[in-house]
A and B are shown apart, each in its own frame.
Chain A
Amino acid sequence: MIGTAIRYAPLLILAALWEAVTRLGIVPREMLPPLSTVFVAFVGMLRDGSLPANAAQSFLRGAAGLAAAIVVGFLLGAGMALRPRFHAVAGPLVQAFYPLPKTALVPLVMIWFGLGDMGKIVLIFLGCLLPVTLGTYNGIRGVDRVLVWSARSLGARPREILLEVMLPAALPQLLTGLRTATAFAFLLMVASELIIANNGLGYLIGSLGDNGAYPAMYAAIMTVIALGFFADRGFAALSAHLLRWRA
């Protein structure tokens, strides 16, 4: 408890510094509203429900896109690692798609799906697909052959080998891919909602900024930061739990 307090004390120092420079007029308030006014705006947006409603909207988009990317990415990666012929066909496509900055797809999904949820979900799906695919692919390729041979000689069926030998052995790399994908999901969610949307946290940030409601805008931005941070921490805890059997 005290350890955590000491570890995160620098953030409190920064917060105090923020409040001080704005109260003392070193930084003009139009540029940076005092932290206390940001907090008041935060509570206000919690009360009138605008923050929870938009956060729920963003969460649904991110979760749907990420979930689809995990399922498809895993199948794609496992297929490429286990089936040379599929690898030969899909590999070059993956190579061609990999260097594309995925925000370039925002106008495309707008053309296809308009301004609603579907376009954002597809964008997040496409952006998160390759980290999952590559994590699975490299994870399974890196599985010790001896493990697979042993399982086979003990009479394991192919499905059992995939789920009970390969999946656990590939898990560390798979989880690294998932962590990258989660960060991408947040980034693309905010990007697409900022660029064009009618709701969601990104939209909230953009519209509050356009209206000059800066304390509220800062409050919404800090909410996004907190959500990203806790998602990442939660993911790290989950990884540690799933990998606890490793030496």
Chain B
Amino acid sequence: MSGQAALERLPGRSGWARPGPWLRIAALRASGIVGVLVVWAIVGQFGLVRPFLVPPLPAVVAQLGDDVVTGGFAISAASTLYRALAGFALACAIGIPVGILISRNRLVGWFVTPIVSVGFPTPTLAFLPIFMLWFGVFDLSKIVMTTFSTVFTVIAAADAGTRGVERHLVWSAESLGAKRTAVFFEVMLPAAMPQILTGLQVALPLALIVEVAAEMLMGGDGLGGRMLQAENYADSVGVYAGIIEIAVVGAIAVGGMARLRQRLLRWHVETAAR
């Protein structure tokens, strides 16, 4: 899991080997995204590709503006986020205690570990037809689906996090006379927190990935469901606008999670180093 912490570090903000004048750096950094938009605008303007494949940029922008003004975006984003976050929260509520128990109790560890090692790499979306059969096609089955998809990641992180806590920390606290509950809440849990949060940072995007796919399969008024509807009506402007809207929601979720990490780990070296 320690490697996954590194995966969360995105390129772009870190230092330079040889910093040049800031204006040139800013221009270079903007050039990628501006370049994509310019190519898109030119392709659309001169009809180099069929507009169905790449709809003109202004049409997509207009559609986005329309979605924001009419409130369609807010409603769809809210129902997607509600189901993804509810499933994710449930996964945390189950996964963190179970993960901690695995590392602390041999019987629980013996029973749950093989289940997690099968569940962790499983493409959990394969279970969607089962959950439809059990829980119907409305919110409940989608929430259960996102919980099921993310809970193994959370369990694995909580297990590895508590297992990796330095023994000396626990021994010191014990020798100073701390009670078991105090040792757990004031030493073990904070020490395991960075790794648990890393697991959550992997799990939250996964929840969105699965939620969007579940909406495409079962309908429902979310961003994914609306996109597939647009696809069925051959409305490629709607599809492009939908991707941008989902990307915005994803960026908010990922950014919010990183913020939460900073807040919770204010005391940690990792945050101080920034």
Chain A positions within 8 Å of B, measured between CB atoms, are 6-11, 13-14, 30-31, 80, 84-85, 87-96, 98-108, 110-112, 131, 134-135, 137-139, 141-142, 172-173, 175-177, 180, 182-183, 186-187, 189-191, 194-195, 201-202, 205-206, 209, 214, 217-218, 221, 224-225, 228-229, 231-232
- Report which of A93, A131, A173, A194 forms a contact with B125, defined as CB distance below 8 A: A194
Any A CB within 8 A of the CB of B121: yes
Contact code string B24-42 (vs A, CB < 8 Å = 1, else 0): 0100111111001000000
Any A CB within 8 A of the CB of B231: yes
List residues of chain A with CB within 8 A of the CB of B28: 85, 88-89
Further 18 A-B residue pairs, CB within 8 A, beyond A99-B254, A142-B6, A187-B123: A8-B114, A85-B28, A88-B28, A93-B33, A93-B36, A94-B11, A96-B247, A99-B250, A134-B9, A138-B6, A175-B3, A182-B121, A187-B124, A187-B125, A195-B216, A224-B126, A228-B121, A232-B120
Contact B32 A107 (CB under 8 A): no
Known interface pairs A88-B25, A93-B33, A191-B125; A172-B3 also in contact (CB < 8 Å): yes
Contact B134 A31 (CB under 8 A): yes
- Report which of B36, B239, B254 forms a contact with A107, defined as CB distance below 8 A: B239
List residues of chain B with CB within 8 A of the CB of A110: 231
Which residue, of A98, A172, A232, has the highest number of chain B Cβ atoms within 10 A? A98
Known interface pairs A14-B115, A107-B242; A229-B121 also in contact (CB < 8 Å): yes
Known interface pairs A101-B250, A231-B121; A221-B127 also in contact (CB < 8 Å): yes
Which residue, of B216, B242, B251, B254, has the highest number of chain A Cβ atoms within 10 A? B216
Across the two chains, which residue of chain A brings its CB closest to B121? Answer: A232
Contact B209 A88 (CB under 8 A): no
Measured between alpha carbons, how far is A173 from B1 in the docked complex, in Å? Answer: 11
List residues of chain A with CB within 8 A of the CB of B3: 135, 172-173, 175-177
Contact A137 B11 (CB under 8 A): yes
Across the two chains, which residue of chain B brings its CB closest to A172? Answer: B3
Measured between alpha carbons, how far is A92 from B13 in the docked complex, in Å? Answer: 9
List residues of chain B with CB within 8 A of the CB of A187: 123-125, 209-210
Taking CB atoms and an 8 Å cut-off, the chain B residues in 224-274 that contact chain A are 224, 227-228, 230-231, 236, 239-240, 242-243, 246-247, 250-251, 253-255
Cβ contacts A to B, 19 pairs, < 8 Å: A31-B134, A87-B11, A88-B28, A92-B12, A100-B247, A103-B216, A103-B224, A104-B212, A104-B223, A104-B247, A106-B228, A107-B227, A108-B239, A108-B240, A134-B9, A189-B123, A225-B118, A228-B121, A232-B121
List residues of chain A with CB within 8 A of the CB of B176: none
Shortest distance in angstroms between B216's beta carbon and chain A's nearest beta carbon?
Answer: 5
- Report which of A80, A91, A217 forms a contact with B29, defined as CB distance below 8 A: A91
List residues of chain B with CB within 8 A of the CB of A228: 121-123
Shortest distance in angstroms between B270's beta carbon and chain A's nearest beta carbon?
Answer: 15
Any A CB within 8 A of the CB of B82: no
Shortest distance in angstroms between A117's beta carbon and chain B's nearest beta carbon?
Answer: 18
Any A CB within 8 A of the CB of B172: no
Q: How many residues of B contact A (CB 8 A)?
A: 71
Contact A93 B129 (CB under 8 A): no
Measured between alpha carbons, how far is A217 from B132 in the docked complex, in Å? Answer: 13
List residues of chain B with CB within 8 A of the CB of A102: 209
Measured between alpha carbons, how far is A31 from B121 in the docked complex, in Å? Answer: 25
Contact B122 A224 (CB under 8 A): yes
Contact B246 A100 (CB under 8 A): yes
Which residue, of A95, A131, A173, has the highest number of chain B Cβ atoms within 10 A? A95
Contact B7 A176 (CB under 8 A): yes
Contact code string B201-222 (vs A, CB < 8 Å = 1, else 0): 0000100111111001100000
Known interface pairs A84-B16, A176-B6, A187-B209; A10-B111 also in contact (CB < 8 Å): yes
Measured between alpha carbons, how far is A182 from B236 in the docked complex, in Å? Answer: 30
Measured between alpha carbons, how far is A173 from B227 in the docked complex, in Å? Answer: 35
Across the two chains, which residue of chain A brings its CB closest to B240? Answer: A108
Shortest distance in angstroms between B45's beta carbon and chain A's nearest beta carbon?
Answer: 20
Known interface pairs A84-B17, A221-B130; A111-B52 also in contact (CB < 8 Å): yes
- 5 nearest interchain CB pairs? A176-B3, A232-B121, A91-B12, A209-B129, A107-B231
